[in-house]
Amino acid sequence: MPTFEYAPAPESRAVVDIASSYGLFIGGEFVESRGGTPFKTISPATEEVLAQVSEASEQDVDRAVAAARTAFGSWSALSGTDRGKYLFRIARIMQERAREFAVLESLDNGKPIRESRDVDVPTAAAHFFYHAGWADKLSYASLGDRPRPHGVVGQVIPWNFPLLMLAWKIAPALATGNTVVLKPAETTPLTALLFAQVCQQADLPPGVVNIITGAGPTGQALIAHPDVDKVAFTGSTAVGKAIATTIAGTRKRATLELGGKAANIVFDDAPLDQAIEGIVNGIFFNQGHVCCAGSRLLVQESIAEEVETKLKTRLATLRVGDPLDKNTDIGAINSAAQLERITTLAAVGEAEGATRWSPECELPANGFWFAPTIFTGVAQTHRIAQEEIFGPVLSVLTFRTPGEAVAKANNTPYGLSAGIWTEKGSRILWMADHLKAGVVWANTFNKFDPTSPFGGYKESGYGREGGRHGLSAYVTTGDPT
Ligand code: NDP
């Protein structure tokens, strides 16, 4: 139980100016859709309608790709130094408008303001700063002989980190001289539309960045457009597979960042209090809407009971509620559809025989909410040990030896991330060597940095984002054909 009550500390909404309706951002200006059906974006915490947003039709996708193609000639001909100046300008404006971005993100997505303010927005700005620095140094980045941009890049992003995923996609594309058409997720379009205003404020040449809103069919039309040279996607493995099928046999390059079912592995010599914080951060950060979430806790058998007790005590102190309250640890589930998925899979966990536990917590009457939940007695064959739940639900399994921990951790179709908690450096290195995961954290979890490549093995996708490796996905080398 909390040791004392917290007084509400809500962040003011006054800093954001949400329009009643938004057009599409094509060729440097907001334009009406031609033939799309507008849709509403709501606050998942209250179900309040925030704004009406345009749906980009196939004709709109065509217009956006044409605008990006027109802009490509002069943008790619700019010197790296000049492209870098635009990126620095964008990064600085994002910092200046950080509070506005954070409040808007929490309103539209449901994530706690503490996270949007301290993680999403600063890391998004950091991605622009980092890539601004690369723009005039591409020939020294070991990217191969004469790195050149692909051309027009079609980018489709999910709803869990709307602004941050936009930054992961747009910053490297622009630094390397590509132009962009980006589609944010249907449920979280607002920070991408605010970013479009930042592009105007930064005097970015028209057409270099185009933002088209809509749902799956808009994304599909963008990916399939014949004048798109490269595709970058983050989202579910199912849609990633559909995209790979769509572009198979074409000249299009692709990077796919898909799902995960990460193991967070705790050994009996781990600093337990820190490990408990790492477990909580691993799965309850962003309501568990994280592709690399530590959704499977593998705990050494000898300390399993102690970890379970400590974890339950810690979970009882988490505050679930208003995303704009600075005290909130766990916000709203992003949509009714996602809440339904989480509810269904949690019910499957119970039906399969695992033991379900949640702390006592009062959930708000409106909006979409799910109490933090842990399942113990989970077997490897259980669906909650195999499938991505993408919510605040932790499956706890045990192991006896490092070899068994590795075998269990790797027993998944995914391979995005993993965590290791132990005092022994040699064990960290041995484990990291044997884990089939693109990112392995040691004695920490869910840490992100623009300099560090991120991406997966197996059904978690291919390609890397961030660092020098991420840049390489946006260039081609050798002589133009
Ligand atoms: P999706 O993969 O459907 O959505 C990701 C993005 O792709 C969205 O912008 C979506 O549009 C768009 N999209 C959907 N269908 C197509 C298509 N055929 N072609 C091109 N783009 C498309 O994820 P969901 O939002 O449906 O979430 C479903 C599950 O996916 C979650 O429960 C979770 O398990 C997983 N997921 C994983 C993420 C990750 O980072 N690994 C991120 C998000 C979800 P729109 O949203 O507008 O429909």
Locate the ligand 1 atom nearest the alpha carbon of residue 389 and give its number. 34
CA 206 vs. chain centroid, Å, equals 27
pLDDT given at position 4 = 67
In a 3-state reduction of DSSP, which class is residue 115?
A: helix
Locate the ligand 1 atom nearest the alpha carbon of residue 165 and give its number. 40
Locate the ligand 1 atom nearest the alpha carbon of residue 159 and give its number. 43
Cβ–ligand 1 distance for 72 under 6 Å, the answer no
Tell me the CA–centroid distance for residue 158 and ligand 1, in Å.
Answer: 6
DSSP assignment, residue 5?
A: P
pTM of the entire predicted model:
0.97
Cβ–ligand 1 distance for 213 under 6 Å, the answer no
Sign of the torsion formed by the C-alpha atoms of 122, 127, 130 and 135: negative
DSSP per residue, 328-357: -SB---S-HHHHHHHHHHHHHHHHTTPEEE
Question: Considering 100, 115, 186, 291, which one is annotated as catalytic?
Answer: 291
Question: Considering 55, 105, 115, 257, which one is annotated as catalytic?
Answer: 257
Tell me the CA–centroid distance for residue 144 and ligand 1, in Å.
Answer: 33
CA 205 vs. chain centroid, Å, equals 27
pLDDT given at position 402 = 98
Cβ–ligand 1 distance for 258 under 6 Å, the answer yes
Q: Smallest Cα–Cα separation from 87: which of 173, 192, 2, 210? A: 173
**How many CB atoms lie under 10 A from the CB of residue 287?**
33
User: Is the separation of the CB atoms in 268 and 336 below 8 Å?
Assistant: no
Region of 156 (left: φ > 0; alpha: ψ -120 to 50; beta: rest) is beta
Q: How far apart are CA 233 and CA 216, in angstroms?
A: 12
Q: Write down how long the chain is.
A: 481
Cβ–ligand 1 distance for 160 under 6 Å, the answer yes
- E strand intervals along 54-116: none
What backbone phi and psi angles, to 5 degrees, belong to 12?
-75, 140
Q: Any catalytic annotation for residue 292?
A: no
User: Is the separation of the CB atoms in 264 and 405 below 8 Å?
Assistant: no
User: Is the separation of the CB atoms in 132 and 84 below 8 Å?
Assistant: yes
Among 55, 156, 462, which residue has the most ligand 1 atoms within 8 Å of its CB, making it the best to mutate? 156
Tell me the CA–centroid distance for residue 235 and ligand 1, in Å.
Answer: 4
Cβ–ligand 1 distance for 240 under 6 Å, the answer no
pLDDT given at position 297 = 98
Tens-digit pLDDT string for the chain (481 aa): 555 678 999 999 999 999 999 999 999 999 999 999 999 999 999 999 999 999 999 999 999 999 999 999 999 999 999 999 999 999 999 999 999 999 999 999 999 999 999 999 999 999 999 999 999 999 999 898 889 999 999 999 999 999 999 999 999 999 999 999 999 999 999 999 999 999 999 999 999 999 999 999 999 999 999 999 999 999 999 999 999 999 999 999 999 999 999 999 999 999 999 999 999 999 999 999 999 999 999 999 999 999 999 999 999 999 999 999 999 999 999 999 999 999 999 999 999 999 999 999 999 999 999 999 999 999 999 999 999 999 999 999 999 999 999 999 999 999 999 999 999 999 999 999 999 999 999 999 999 999 999 999 999 999 999 999 999 999 998 665 5
pLDDT given at position 145 = 83
Cβ–ligand 1 distance for 224 under 6 Å, the answer no
Cβ–ligand 1 distance for 242 under 6 Å, the answer yes
Q: Any catalytic annotation for residue 291?
A: yes
Locate the ligand 1 atom nearest the alpha carbon of residue 185 and give its number. 9
Cβ–ligand 1 distance for 329 under 6 Å, the answer no
Locate the ligand 1 atom nearest the alpha carbon of residue 341 and give its number. 32
Cβ–ligand 1 distance for 341 under 6 Å, the answer yes
Calculate the alpha carbon distances from 362 to 47, 274, 369 in Å. Answer: 18, 27, 10
Tell me the CA–centroid distance for residue 459 and ligand 1, in Å.
Answer: 15
Q: Smallest Cα–Cα separation from 183: which of 223, 130, 242, 126? A: 223
Query: Burial code of 203-234, b = ≥16 C-beta within 10 A, e = fewer?
Result: ebebbbbbbbbbeeebbbbbbbbeebbbbbbb
The type of residue at 17 is D
Tell me the CA–centroid distance for residue 291 and ligand 1, in Å.
Answer: 11
Q: How far apart are CA 308 and CA 302, in angstroms?
A: 12
Among 236, 333, 460, which residue has the most ligand 1 atoms within 8 Å of its CB, making it the best to mutate? 236
Q: How far apart are CA 455 and CA 457, in angstroms?
A: 7
First to last CA, the chain: 66
Locate the ligand 1 atom nearest the alpha carbon of residue 184 and give its number. 9
pLDDT given at position 477 = 86
Cβ–ligand 1 distance for 290 under 6 Å, the answer no
DSSP per residue, 230-281: EEEEES-HHHHHHHHHHHTTSS-EEEEE-----EEEE-TTS-HHHHHHHHHH
Cβ–ligand 1 distance for 215 under 6 Å, the answer yes
Query: 450: Cβ–Cβ under 8 A, 6 or more apart, which residues?
Result: 123, 126, 127, 129, 130, 131, 171, 466, 467
Token duo for residue 213: 């809103």
Tell me the CA–centroid distance for residue 349 and ligand 1, in Å.
Answer: 23
